[in-house]
Amino acid sequence: MPLRKHLLWALLSIVLLVCPIDLYTQTLFEICDNAIDDDGDGLIDLNDRDCLCEQMQPISLIPNPSFESKSCCPVSPARMDCVNDWIQASEATTDYIHTCDWMGWPGMPMPLPVPDGQACIGFRNGDYSANRFAPAWKEYMGICLPEPLKAGVSYILKFHVGFSHANISPPTQVELFGSIDCNHLPYGLGVSDFGCPSNGSGLKKLGSANVSGVNQWVETEIRFIPSEPVQTIAIGPPCENAIANNTLFYFLDNLILETEDNFHYEIGLTEHPCHSDVSLSVKPVDSAAYQWYKEGIALINQNQSTLSHIYGEGIYQMRLSFPNSDCRMTPPYSYQKPLSESFDIITICEGDSYGFNDESITEPGIYVDSLKTKEGCDSVAILDLHIFENRIDTVEVKIFPQETLELGHYRLKEPGGYSLNLYSQSGCDSSVFLILSHYKAYLPSAFTPNGDGINDFFTLTGDTDLRSIEQLTIFNRWGKMVYIGQGLSPNNLSQGWDGKSRGQDMPEGVYVFHAKLDFGQGSPHWVSGSISLIR
The secondary structure of 180-200 as a DSSP string is: SSSSS-S-STT-TT---GGGS
For residue 12, what pLDDT is reported? 44
Cis peptide before 113 (omega within 30 of 0): yes
Cβ atoms of 184 and 140 closer than 8 Å: no
CA–CA distance, 54 with 59 (Å, rounded to integer):
14
The answer as to whether 92 is a domain residue is yes
For residues 325 and 405, membership in a common domain is answered with no
The answer as to whether 271 is a domain residue is yes
For residues 321 and 220, membership in a common domain is answered with no
Domain count, the chain: 5
The answer as to whether 527 is a domain residue is yes
What CATH number does the domain containing 490 carry? 2.60.40
For residue 130, what pLDDT is reported? 57
| Domain span holding position 122 | 80-262
Domain boundary among 239, 262, 285: 262
For residues 370 and 394, membership in a common domain is answered with yes
Domain boundary among 401, 416, 438: 438
Provide φ and ψ at 241, rounded to 5°.
-70, 135
The secondary structure of 48-105 as a DSSP string is: SGGG--EE--PPPSSSSTTS--BSS---SS--GGGBSS-EE-SSSPPEEEETTS----
For residues 145 and 257, membership in a common domain is answered with yes
For residue 265, what pLDDT is reported? 79
For residues 328 and 418, membership in a common domain is answered with no
The answer as to whether 36 is a domain residue is yes
The answer as to whether 64 is a domain residue is no
For residue 522, what pLDDT is reported? 66
Domain boundary among 296, 314, 335: 335
Beta strands at 54-55 and 446-447: parallel, antiparallel or unpaired: unpaired
For residue 423, what pLDDT is reported? 64
For residues 232 and 89, membership in a common domain is answered with yes
Of 164, 157, 149, 282, the residue nearest 209 (C-alpha) = 157
The answer as to whether 286 is a domain residue is yes
Of 464, 513, 516, 458, the residue nearest 487 (C-alpha) = 516
pLDDT beneath 70: ranges in the chain: 1-27, 130-132, 388-393, 422-430, 521-522
For residue 17, what pLDDT is reported? 46
The answer as to whether 494 is a domain residue is yes
For residues 298 and 205, membership in a common domain is answered with no
For residue 390, what pLDDT is reported? 63
Of 114, 81, 242, 261, the residue nearest 175 (C-alpha) = 242
For residues 254 and 401, membership in a common domain is answered with no
The number of beta carbons lying within 10 Å of the beta carbon of residue 284 is 11
CA–CA distance, 413 with 438 (Å, rounded to integer):
9
Q: Show Cβ contacts of residue 455 under 8 Å, excluding neighbours closer than 6 positions.
A: 447, 448, 493
For residue 143, what pLDDT is reported? 97
The answer as to whether 73 is a domain residue is no
For residues 524 and 459, membership in a common domain is answered with yes
Q: In the chain, what is the straight-line distance between the N-terminal and C-terminal CA atoms, in Å?
A: 62
For residues 93 and 240, membership in a common domain is answered with yes
For residue 424, what pLDDT is reported? 54
For residue 278, what pLDDT is reported? 93
For residues 114 and 127, membership in a common domain is answered with yes
For residue 447, what pLDDT is reported? 92
Record the pTM: 0.54
For residues 232 and 140, membership in a common domain is answered with yes
